[in-house]
Amino acid sequence: MSEHAFDVEVADGTALVRASGELDLSTGPVLERAIGGLLDDPTVRAITLDLRPLRFIDSTGLRIVIATDRHLRAEDRRLQVIKGPPSVHRVFELALLEERLSFVDGDDTGDGPVPR
Amino acid sequence: MSNSLMVRFQPTPAAVGLARQQLDLLRDRMTDEAYEDARLMVSELITNSLRHASLAIDQEIELVMRLRGSTLWVEVRDPGPGFEPRPRSKDASSESGWGLYLVARLADRWGVERDGMNRVWFELDEATPPS
């Protein structure tokens, strides 16, 4: 069983979702529920998904990130993704999703307020 | 230590992580890159079985892994009705088919066979460090 945690913080209309552990078919539904609550909340204008603590992602995780991005874009809201470690980010590169999603390096945001 | 192993899993989502863990048994004989690539591909093949094979709880998924020389061979077998292998197209708007697309990008060879079981396999060359 993969250990995992998805923490959510909302401040000023931006939600920060921190994904840790391993994101796959068994843990994906947990993240989907966490994000689903944010998508249903019209006061959340943007979601920042922090993948830095994540150790593994596969196509199930990619699908969740892409679906979230599509949902937010369609409503003129936005998703920003803080890049995960190389083994995680590489999966996005392999799937040719680098251009399609708004990635930022963790260094750009530090541990300060979530970028808008 | 044996170069080959076979493990069976109940067809639940937990099988995906448990199958990845099996690679830890070969970890010390694999390069970092091969280990990471193989973890991703094993994850995709088990996920593929769970999503497409509509297995009953008593229909187990088999994972077979073997190091032959420097090549890692992995096969995932299930008794389900099978699926049409369709790696996703370049159309990035699609949200399905990512799994086999990733396998196709990472594996040196891969394939699907049906002989009563569905068998999806891949091979990864140079999986062991040069000696």
Question: The CATH number of the domain where A48 resides is what?
Answer: 3.30.750.24
d(CA A66, CA A62): 6
Tell me, yes or no, whether A29 lies in a domain.
Answer: yes
First to last CA, chain B: 18
Contact A44, A38 (CB under 8 A): yes
Per-residue pLDDT tens over the stretch A66-108: 999 999 999 999 999 999 999 999 999 999 999 999 999 986 5
Angle at A63 between CA A58 and CA A65, to 5 degrees: 100
Cβ contact, residue pair B43, A56, below 8 Å: yes
Question: Three-state SS for B121?
Answer: strand
Contact B75, B32 (CB under 8 A): no
Q: Check CB contact of B26 with chain A, cutoff 8 Å.
A: no
Contact B18, B9 (CB under 8 A): yes
Question: Three-state SS for A45?
Answer: coil
Show which of residues 55-94 on chain B sit within 8 Å of chain A, judged by CB atoms: 90, 92
What is the ipTM, given to two decimal places?
A: 0.88
Q: Tell me what pLDDT residue B84 has.
A: 60
Nearest to B17 among A24, A59, A97 (CB): A24
Q: Tell me what pLDDT residue A72 has.
A: 97
- Total domains in chain A come to 1
Residue A110 has pLDDT above 50, yes or no: no
Tell me, yes or no, whether A115 lies in a domain.
Answer: no
Domain that holds residue A16: 4-104
Contact B43, B4 (CB under 8 A): no
Tell me, yes or no, whether A110 lies in a domain.
Answer: no
Q: Check CB contact of B49 with chain A, cutoff 8 Å.
A: no
CA distance B25 to chain A (A): 17
Tell me, yes or no, whether A67 lies in a domain.
Answer: yes
Nearest to B68, CA basis, from B29, B106, B23: B29
Residue B91 has pLDDT above 60, yes or no: no
User: B-chain residues within 8 Å CB-CB of A25?
Assistant: 13, 16, 46-47, 50-51
Q: Tell me what pLDDT residue B131 has.
A: 75
First to last CA, chain A: 35
User: A-chain residues within 8 Å CB-CB of B98?
Assistant: 59, 62-63, 95
Tell me, yes or no, whether A89 lies in a domain.
Answer: yes
Residue B107 has pLDDT above 80, yes or no: yes
Per-residue pLDDT tens over the stretch A17-58: 999 999 999 999 999 999 999 999 999 999 999 999 999 999
Tell me, yes or no, whether A114 lies in a domain.
Answer: no
d(CA B39, CA A88): 12
Tell me, yes or no, whether A116 lies in a domain.
Answer: no
pTM of the predicted structure, to 2 decimals: 0.89
User: B-chain residues within 8 Å CB-CB of A97?
Assistant: 92
Tell me, yes or no, whether A44 lies in a domain.
Answer: yes
- The H or E element that residue B5 is part of is strand B4-9
